[in-house]
A and B are shown apart, each in its own frame.
Chain A
Amino acid sequence: MSQWFESAIVRAEQVNDWLSPVRAEALQTLKRASWPTRKTEAWKYLSLRRLEKSEFAQQQESAQITPEIIEGLDSLDLTFVDGQLVDLPADLPAGLSIVSLQNATDSVKQWAGEIIGDIKPERHLFGLINDTLAQHGVIIDVAEGVSVERPIRISYMSSEGSEAHTRVLVRVASNASVTVIEQAQNKHNSLHTSVAEYAIHEQAELTHYGLMMGGGAAMHVAGMHFRLAQQATLNSHLVGFGSELNRLDVDVQHRGEQADANINAVYLLRDAEVFDLHSTIEHEVPHCTTDENVRGIVADRSKAVFNGRIHIHRDAQKTLAELNNKNLLLSREAQINTKPELEIYADDVKCAHGATVAEIDKKALYYLQSRGISREQALVMLNFGFINALVDEMPHSALAEWLRPILRNRFASMDVQ
């Protein structure tokens, strides 16, 4: 049993605010839940041993850490430091409202209270922990028909020895569009659970970035959960690397016809880093599409876990779904555990899935060499290109330009055979 988990339950009993009904229900479920072991399917490849015995300081003063600057990105910045919301943008464009969880007005509480904890599936243990413990968070509301040009950037940062639980709730009303960047920059020994729930209404569009870029001893368990109404569009770009306990659960629910979800995920791991991505896409209604592309490179003793499930319900006829996971192993000690799953209960659907250990395209290699580029350099270009192809698809070029050299340097530090 985990000491940390026991203490979390004790602490959960003491939380009291407007979300108490939600919290109480989660706590009930949590008390019946058991702490994951190696035999727990969802945690088979990611050890929680270090967390089990961890103790974190309570109620810290929030430390002075500022988010990284992304040049050329004109964003509306929301910053969480050790779970506290330290920065909220002042001037908001018309049609966009952002309030902290604690300062929610009655009308916000009314709609937010109904969907909080509802978009996130109940099965996520750390989601339940977050339900009970996250006292800080933010509620973002984009009004009907409004297109918010400036991306909203949420930074998660932690100081040494801190434990934080943060919550994000986003409603994109019908015909609205917005970009939300969730960027984890936890660098120190710390624990952070973050849960973000997105309700994307009819014909609304969400561009989303989930950048799980922690550092060494930071432990981060994140949930990013999306519910799509009719003709809603989700474009999500996920990136994971940097720490030894880095977990992301992504859930997409297609609830209205002709909803469209595109997910690109990239990981680039070295040393003893572990990135564990679980995604579940629920096709509940007909005529929806999902395109999920997951690519990773693992070096040294690092480990990548990808568990991608697409569940096509009986009524979800005419579903188009593709799930693809490609990996490049740079070292014999590196590990990839991949499990793409299609579960189909409808009979008229087009689906494909696959996982491969990527091979270098010989024609491309020859083409580069025929231009005088050495075999070694060509291999580096092609290997990095394999990841970079997904970075190229990021619609915010400032973000892509910022990320590319970070990934490139990371890649340059790895040995390629």
Chain B
Amino acid sequence: MLKINQLSASVEDKTILKGLNLEVKPGEVHAIMGPNGAGKSTLGYVLSGRDGYEVEGGSAELDGSDLLELEPEERARKGLFLAFQYPVEIPGVSNMEFMKAAVDAALEARGEEALSSAEFLKRAKQACKQVQLPLEFLKRGVNEGFSGGEKKRNEIMQMLLLEPKLAILDESDSGLDIDALKVVADGVNSQRDGQRSFIVVTHYQRLLDYIEPDYVHVLSDGKIVKSGDASLAKELEAQGYAWLQGYEDKNGAEEPVA
């Protein structure tokens, strides 16, 4: 599904990703943890093609096609989805109009037939209910005046409607109450079908109680420095990241988990 090899990238001439390796196979859930400023969000931005994030070296392929060459919308149409750590507010563009355009594009890219307005409305309402947002949120401007938690729910709603192959959830659990945490987890779990894959960026073990990851990675200073199974997240929760100090010198960056 996703193969990232020795990926380096910079923002405003500052190198953030420094030779990152990661492979995600169909159906897998990978959790990425790591200290603030390590480059977790940057990874999502680079993969999704945000302006200003310069790739300096390495590669990233989604199902064999080179992601890094594509426009952001083309990456999305290949099945990549990024749930943003900080979703953007767009007054004047309704959530409904926005999602209809996105779903139309996704269906077209998959060679499926476009939805009628009525069918789309039905699905949108369903998704809205699933993430427990009132239906009027469909009419409001995209994320306009949404609370932090509502924005995160809105991201998950989009994921549900778009049915991506690979979804990267960047701290979709931050700032959420317990109910919302379950909403996010249920959103992911309801889409797990053995084919779709997920990268879940989080600072906390508790999300991983609901979404059982196959692998847990530690991203530090632009690289994956340690990988393991779900138990690694529990260790991290107990120990924090102090052990990272000097860790790399001794061990070097770990090989990607296959």
A binding-site residues for B, Cβ under 8 Å? 361-364, 366-375, 377-378, 381-382, 384-390, 392
Contacts and interface: CB of A to CB of B under 8 A. Distances in A.
B90 interface: yes
Interface in B55-112: 71-73, 75-77, 81-82, 84, 87-88, 90-93, 97-99, 101-102, 105-106, 109
Contact of A371 (B51, B91, B98): B98
Nearest to B140: A392
A121 to B, nearest CB: 34
Contacts of A373: 73, 98, 101-102, 105
20 contacts: A361-B88, A361-B90, A362-B51, A366-B50, A366-B51, A368-B93, A369-B73, A370-B72, A371-B99, A371-B158, A372-B105, A373-B98, A374-B73, A377-B101, A385-B93, A386-B92, A387-B92, A389-B92, A392-B91, A392-B141
Contacts of B50: 366, 370
B102 A363 contact: no
Given A371-B158, A372-B162, 13 more contacts: A364-B88, A366-B50, A367-B88, A370-B48, A370-B75, A371-B73, A374-B105, A385-B93, A388-B93, A389-B91, A389-B141, A392-B91, A392-B92
B222 interface: no
Contacts of A382: 90, 92-93
B107 to A, nearest CB: 10
A363, A371, A381, A384 interface centre (most CB from chain B within 10 Å): A371
Contacts of A362: 51
Interface residues of B, number: 31
A372 B93 contact: no
Nearest to A389: B92
Contacts of B162: 371-372
B141 A372 contact: no
A90 to B, nearest CB: 36
A386 B91 CA distance: 7
Nearest to B102: A371
Contact of A367 (B71, B90, B99): B90
B49 interface: yes
A361 B88 CA distance: 10
A378 B76 CA distance: 14
B92 A385 contact: yes
A229 B82 CA distance: 52
Contacts of B141: 385, 389, 392
Contact of A381 (B49, B72, B81, B93): B93
A388 B109 contact: no
Contacts of B101: 368, 371, 373, 377, 381
Contact of B72 (A364, A369, A385): A369
Nearest to B73: A369
Contacts of A366: 49-51, 72, 88
Contacts of B93: 368, 381-382, 384-385, 388
Contacts of B99: 371
A385 B158 CA distance: 20
Contacts of A361: 88, 90
Contact of A370 (B82, B109, B142): B82
In this complex, which of A375, A385, A387, A388 has the most chain B Cβ atoms within 10 angstroms of its Cβ?
Answer: A385
Contacts of B72: 366, 369-370
Given A366-B72, A369-B73, A372-B76, A388 B92 contact: yes
A375 B82 contact: no
